[in-house]
Amino acid sequence: MLQFTRDRTQEIIRDPRFRNLASARAKLRWSLSIVTLIMFFGFIALISTAKSALGVAVAGSSIPLGLLLAMSMCVVVVMLTGFYVYRSNSRFDELASLLNREFRQ
Amino acid sequence: MRVLLAVLFIAFPFAAFAQAASAAAGRGTDWIAIGMFMAIVLTTLVITYRSAGSTKSRADFYTAGHAITPLQNGLAIAGDFLSAAAFLGISALVYANGFDGFLYALGFLTGWPIVLFLMSERLRNLGSYTFADAAAFRLERTPIRLVAAIGSLVVVLFYLVAQMIGAGKVIELLFGVNYLIAVSSVGILMILYVTVGGMQATTWVQITKAALLLCGGTLLGFVVLRRFDFSFAKLFAAASSIHPKGEAILAPGGLFAEPVSAISLGLALVFGTCGLPHILMRFFTVKDAADARKSVFYATSCVAYFSLVIPILGFGAVPILMSDSSYFRVDASGQFNKITDLIGGPNMASIHLAHAVGGPVLLGFISAVAFATILAVVAGLTLAGCSAIGHDIYGQVIAKGRGSDAREVWVSKVAAVCIGIVAVLLAYSFENQNVAFMAGLALSVAASCNFPVLAMAIFWRGTTTRGAVTGALAGLFSSVILVVFSKTVWVAVFGFKSALFPYENPALFSMPLAFLCIWLFSVTDRSARAARERRAFDAQFVQSEIGITLAAEGRVMAEATS
């Protein structure tokens, strides 16, 4: 039984479909995480370097640039999570459950 | 019958609230507010009563039988996460500092995509009840469970006490009741939700609260914007013309000016969210990883929406309240400070705003929403704390996973009562202390103890038990020590002249230290156990990707590879 499970693990790990799934997921996961972190900490960096520029009103309105950026970041965060969920639902779930069914036996 | 008695028991202090309603604002008895408070308390008690049958097994008690739908769970996560500190505290920060307050909301929000990308699905695939399930998947049970439970309990207790003190103050102010009665009532209610209704009741209290908070925030924001003809330009112009800081409130100011403090706070806000035990626990209430993922999307949407509404309330409160001296403590010469002299302090800005734009009806509604907010968060925290004791310490360490369901649930319920009592006592004894450090400390510990251990155990093959335990303890102790040496404790609580640690938030130092220790003490670990744990990574990896085995078999699999 134990040997069986160990072999089964190695068999799954070597399966090309599993490898594709895992690496595509990892790519999506880490790239989106990095985008999110760069966006937020970049904004903090922007605040400490170009503080006064963020207080200037955007041309044609009286909404300051910094506030507009912060508000758009709220929307972007939802879009990033939405994109991840959409991608996972459409691309990964089917393959993951297929592999799950196949190797469960 | 027991529940009926409990209802009477609970109703009593709230009837006392009725006698003194709105005394603080000097507006006489406010029956509308009392009616709404009673309605909320009754609703939550009905929810609890109806969930009472579903707390027999571990799966029922900790996770509502893994049967919550993604939308329900998303709302419940938002309800668990959006505390009174977020609702009243951040709108108060915007009221007092303008733009800078918004950045807090943004930091809290940015944690969510990270939770989604790195945590939610793998956690659901690897665990069943608490985040320690995933951390201990291939590492040694006893030490990992113990440090995870300690990390959870520290976070839960500090967060809980901070919330309880805030709750006590708000209730005291709104209804003029004694602080101890206010805190005890909140304590009794949260113990009831958790012990009688378990995760099922907690979830529905949180869903109710999320719906109320979103509706209340939207309504208030709508009424405020209508005053300014739905023009942000008019709102900002009106706010900056009357605020003592003038135009400066529209631009970044002092709070995030210093880069080291700003990054440190940002790290605590973003990664603290990924390590909050009561949030991580919610991913186990759905049936699989796909549902966990979907629920984070719903939760993120709610939190993002709320992050956009909050500044409208904060900025709206500036022109509406500051032009009306009846909301301030005015001294004999007719002077008042437009920020600090607000009746009840700046934290009451949203509550006063509700009265200013909607009269007693909206005041009652928004106060009731604030109260529901507090109840839902403290219930979630209590459940997370009691599951750390019941499942991780008793079930896994003491009973070594062989105890019966009934016994473990019983231990958890006793733990919930103890946590409730301790929280009430601490909230009572810290009433007049400066507790600003507590929420920050909870987030720092979550970011520097829980998050590094979990992330490294899930993602890095090389992690060993020795590394994870050392890293967790390093993160835990360094955050606590640095917070004690910082201004918020060393100066504000102990009264020393200057702080030993110059920054307010330790995350920039404690979090990398935790990761460094995990790495260092793992790569230097040459024991047979370490080799076994590295080999077991493959099995963990397969399960985290495609959820091939159920939790019970997972342990077999991990042992099989050893």
Contact B538 A5 (CB under 8 A): no
Strand partners, B219: none
Token code pair at residue B146: 């113990």
Which residue in chain B has the smallest CA separation from A43? Answer: B103
Show residues of chain A in contact with B541, CB under 8 Å.
13, 22
Alpha helices in B486-536 (DSSP H): 507-523, 528-535
Contact A40 B308 (CB under 8 A): no
Which residue in chain A has the smallest CA separation from B289? Answer: A93
Candidates B258, B259, B308; nearest CB to A71: B308
The Cβ of residue B118 has, within 10 Å, a number of other Cβ atoms equal to 21
CA distance A65 to chain B (A): 9
Show residues of chain B in contact with A84, CB under 8 Å.
113, 116-117, 293
Contact A85 B252 (CB under 8 A): no
**3-state secondary structure at position B531:** helix
> Which pLDDT tens digit goes with each residue over B422-457?
999 999 988 877 666 788 889 999 999 999 999 999
B548 vs B385, more confident = B385
Query: What is the model's pLDDT at position B220?
Result: 94
How sure is the predictor about B24, in pLDDT bands with cuts at 50, 70 and 90?
Answer: very low
Q: Which residues contact B90 (CB under 8 A, 6 or more apart)?
A: B101, B102, B104, B105, B310, B314
**CA count, 13 A, side-chain hemisphere, B10:** 25
Burial class (CB in 10 A: 0-12, 13-18, 19+), B350: buried
Is pLDDT at B8 greater than 80 in this prediction? no
Beta strands in B30-125 (DSSP E): none
Contact A10 B270 (CB under 8 A): no
Contact A93 B263 (CB under 8 A): no
**3-state secondary structure at position B332:** coil
Taking the C-alpha atoms of residue B163 and residue A91, their distance in angstroms, rounded to an integer, is: 42
Q: Angle at the Cα of B255 (from B252 to B257), degrees rounded to 5?
A: 65
Taking the C-alpha atoms of residue B349 and residue B303, their distance in angstroms, rounded to an integer, is: 20
Is pLDDT at B381 greater than 80 in this prediction? yes
Q: What 8-state DSSP symbol labels residue B328?
A: B
Query: What is the model's pLDDT at position B558?
Result: 45
Give B218-230 as a DSSP string. Answer: HHHHHHHHHHTTT
Strand partners, B328: B342
- Chain B interface, best mutation among A4, A19, A34, A44, by max B CB count within 10 A: A44
Residues B239, B373: contact at Cβ < 8 Å? no
Show residues of chain A in contact with B542, CB under 8 Å.
9, 12-13, 18
CA distance A85 to chain B (A): 7
Q: Provide φ and ψ at B355, rounded to 5°.
A: -65, -40
Q: Which residues contact B341 (CB under 8 A, 6 or more apart)?
A: B328, B329, B330
Show residues of chain A in contact with B556, CB under 8 Å.
5
Which residue in chain A has the smallest CA separation from B306? Answer: A74
Show residues of chain B in contact with A73, CB under 8 Å.
106, 110
Residues A29, B562: contact at Cβ < 8 Å? no
Q: How many CB pairs under 8 A join A and B?
A: 167
- Chain A interface, best mutation among B116, B535, B537, by max A CB count within 10 A: B116
Taking the C-alpha atoms of residue B375 and residue B101, their distance in angstroms, rounded to an integer, is: 24
Residues B271, B281: contact at Cβ < 8 Å? no
Taking the C-alpha atoms of residue B401 and residue B419, their distance in angstroms, rounded to an integer, is: 23
Taking the C-alpha atoms of residue B353 and residue B347, their distance in angstroms, rounded to an integer, is: 11
Show residues of chain A in contact with B257, CB under 8 Å.
47-48, 51
CA B554 to chain centre: 30
Query: What is the model's pLDDT at position B480?
Result: 93
Which residue in chain B has the smallest CA separation from A62? Answer: B233
Alpha helices in B228-348 (DSSP H): 232-242, 259-273, 277-281, 289-322
> Which pLDDT tens digit goes with each residue over B125-149?
998 899 999 999 999 999 999 999 9
Token code pair at residue B173: 């102010």
Q: Which residue has the tokens 């008895």?
A: B29
Q: How far is CA A25 from CA A10, A82, B547, in A?
A: 19, 15, 14
Q: Does the model's pTM come out above 0.80?
A: yes
Per-residue confidence in pLDDT tens, chain A, 105 aa: 455 677 788 888 888 888 999 999 999 999 999 999 999 999 988 888 877 777 777 776 778 888 889 999 999 999 999 999 999 998 888 888 888 888 776
B259 vs B27, more confident = B259
Is pLDDT at B488 greater than 90 in this prediction? no
Query: What is the model's pLDDT at position A2?
Result: 54
The mean pLDDT of chain B is: 86
Q: What 8-state DSSP symbol labels residue B342?
A: B
The three state secondary structure string of A35-67 is HHHHHHHHHHHHHHHCHHHHHCECCCCCCEHHH
Give the amino acid at A7.
Answer: D
Average pLDDT over residues B88-108: 88
Contact B252 A12 (CB under 8 A): no
Contact B300 A71 (CB under 8 A): no
Contact A81 B307 (CB under 8 A): no
Show residues of chain A in contact with B236, CB under 8 Å.
62-64, 67
Domain edges within chain A: 2-100
**Measuring CA to CA, which residue among B129, B96, B154 is closest to residue B422?**
B154
Taking the C-alpha atoms of residue B494 and residue B483, their distance in angstroms, rounded to an integer, is: 12
> Which pLDDT tens digit goes with each residue over B551-561?
344 444 444 44
Candidates B109, B250, B539; nearest CB to A74: B109
Is pLDDT at B562 greater than 50 in this prediction? no
ipTM of this complex > 0.85? yes
> Which pLDDT tens digit goes with each residue over B239-276?
888 888 888 888 887 777 788 888 998 999 999 999 99
Strand partners, A64: A57
Candidates B106, B114, B118; nearest CB to A73: B106
Contact A29 B266 (CB under 8 A): no
Least confident stretch, B26-35, B98-107, B157-166, B389-398: B26-35
Show residues of chain B in contact with A80, CB under 8 Å.
113
Show residues of chain A in contact with B121, CB under 8 Å.
88
Candidates A10, A13, A81; nearest CB to B300: A81
Candidates B117, B259, B270; nearest CB to A40: B270
Contact A44 B259 (CB under 8 A): yes
Contact A32 B311 (CB under 8 A): no
Least confident stretch, B6-10, B121-125, B494-498: B6-10
The CATH number of the structural domain formed by B2-432 is 1.20.1730.10
Q: How far is CA A92 from CA A8, B338, B549, in A?
A: 21, 55, 18
CA distance B88 to chain A (A): 19
The three state secondary structure string of A77-98 is HHHHHHHHHHHHHHHHHHHHHH
Candidates B248, B542, B556; nearest CB to A13: B542
Candidates B263, B538, B545; nearest CB to A41: B263
Burial class (CB in 10 A: 0-12, 13-18, 19+), A27: exposed
Q: Provide φ and ψ at B342, rounded to 5°.
A: -60, 135
CA distance A91 to chain B (A): 12
Q: How far is CA B427 from CA B16, B442, B446, in A?
A: 20, 15, 21
Candidates B107, B294, B548; nearest CB to A104: B548
Token code pair at residue B465: 């038990």
How sure is the predictor about B20, in pLDDT bands with cuts at 50, 70 and 90?
Answer: very low
Which residue in chain A has the smallest CA separation from B301? Answer: A78
Token code pair at residue A56: 């200037």
Q: Provide φ and ψ at B67, rounded to 5°.
A: -110, 15
Which residue in chain A has the smallest CA separation from B233? Answer: A62
